Structure 1
């Protein structure tokens, strides 16, 4: 079996967390698809252990997924894998609307000027979904995978969206401020102060709150209706992002976000 990768947060439903039970069959089928997408080909036993779904139930659901074209079983190894059908559905969804293309010129210019990894993120519940990434040209750089999620309260893109969206306070005041490291802000009053400071300076800062060795600067991207559901950020190794360099790079990040906002506002099918 391949080394275990981090499974999506949604897997909590089948690993013991308190989640409202609605349609458990659908939920379990989705968990199986997510496991196959994250970890690659797996045996029935491996899938059962990874998701917490019993073998008999998993086998029945995998047969249905195979019949519908979302999974397939290797005749030689008996291992299951996700098919390209899932990718096809994702591509159809991603094209309506296109949130990335209008922002690309600003993202590329920011990457070239900062020489750090640039990330575009979209808020989804209490998490940020990473839509696009441009890698730093430096030999040592941070790595974020497109399609990954991160807790909004401790990454630069998420903090920028929460601070600047007109409805952001209602969202962040109800967050569970889970700790992911020693720098994560977990106190509600301290987080409220952080949101106020973020608005005042015009950009957010991740001081290693999600991954200890990574620091980042974020700024909001405003849609045509004034809402903030997206943000961009630059991220780099903590040793390359001391406070004085953050202060130096912050105007570049804010300018890029303004350029991306202007481009996005020309597209009324965007948020």
Structure 2
């Protein structure tokens, strides 16, 4: 195991459980580590914003970033629990596989799924990943990121299939379309002959935190079906948002849109 990493984590744990700032000498004594080593680790942790140094420079405390990370983990656990029932209903209404995804930089992570009863269906694995710009759940979340982030991402898109959208201008147009209509569509962009439809899930502050979507063989995702599926995923996304404190049925997506406008300003 990486000893430097272990020592750094021990410092974070020590500071997190302390009810007051701790000095360099005190931290070194608690951990049985040389002060020079502790000082280097503290400098790195301060730069990464896991630790803050008081104004006098004599003590160190754990930062609010630990709370943010813990809250993110808890929200994912709550998200899965709240979403499960609505995902089951969505599968029954559509007969297609249902996925719940969160965004991790340029990829989606599948945190839950409900498989279609159809023998021919889309296959994914909980904990699996996919390029966000190539799948419907990913597009549904990416569309609500700040413009500067999307511009940076647009410059380095890679293709998974011949239908993947990698042209920067076309990608940005796609993001605007998703924001406007409230749902995203994948037309064989991650796996050939596999399509998907997804909608964003927002929290009580209008921040998009996840997406729920349907996926299946392209033969079952004709234009009229996509339109019907879009209504189903939007309804499911709003219902899940309500369970997470995201407001009333018609408010969740509008909150997300308003939040996006505020960020862009």
Provide the TM-score with structure 2 as the length reference: 0.63
Matched, 1:157 2:137: yes
2:95 to 115, 124, 134: 115
Any conservation in 1 of the 2:206–2:246 contact (CA below 8 Å)? no
2:151 to 169, 173, 178: 173
1:204 paired residue number: 184
- In 1, the alpha carbon distance for the partners of 2:246 and 2:202 equals 11
- In 2, the alpha carbon distance for the partners of 1:170 and 1:211 equals 28
Provide the TM-score with structure 1 as the length reference: 0.61
Give the superposition deviation at 1:94. Answer: 9.5
2:106 paired residue number: 126
Aligned-residue RMSD, C-alpha: 2.4
Cα distance, 1:194–1:266 mapped onto 2, change above 3 Å: closer
Cα distance, 1:94–1:174 mapped onto 2, change above 3 Å: closer
Any conservation in 2 of the 1:203–1:218 contact (CA below 8 Å)? yes
Say which SS state the counterpart of residue 170 (structure 1) adopts.
helix
- In 2, the alpha carbon distance for the partners of 1:108 and 1:101 equals 12
Give the superposition deviation at 1:101. Answer: 0.5
Instruction: Describe the superposition over 1:11-61 as per-residue Cα deviations: whole angstroms up to 9, x where unpaired.
Output: xxxxxxxxxxxx8x97xxxxxxxxxxxxxxxxxxxxxxxxxxxxxxxxxxx
Give the superposition deviation at 1:152. Answer: 0.8
Judging by fraction of residues, say which structure has more helix: 2
2:194 to 200, 209, 214: 214
- In 2, the alpha carbon distance for the partners of 1:142 and 1:161 equals 20
1:187 paired residue number: 167
1:260 to 220, 237, 240: 240
1:237 to 217, 237, 252: 217
Segments of structure 2 that go 5 or more residues without pairing to the other structure are 6-69, 248-265
Instruction: Describe the superposition over 1:171-222 as per-residue Cα deviations: whole angstroms up to 9, x where unpaired.
Output: 3222121111111011111011111111222210001111112100010000
Cα distance, 1:146–1:94 mapped onto 2, change above 3 Å: farther
Count of aligned pairs: 178
1:247 paired residue number: 227
1:41 paired residue number: none
- In 2, the alpha carbon distance for the partners of 1:234 and 1:114 equals 8
Segments of structure 1 that go 5 or more residues without pairing to the other structure are 1-22, 27-91
The structure that has the greater radius of gyration is 2
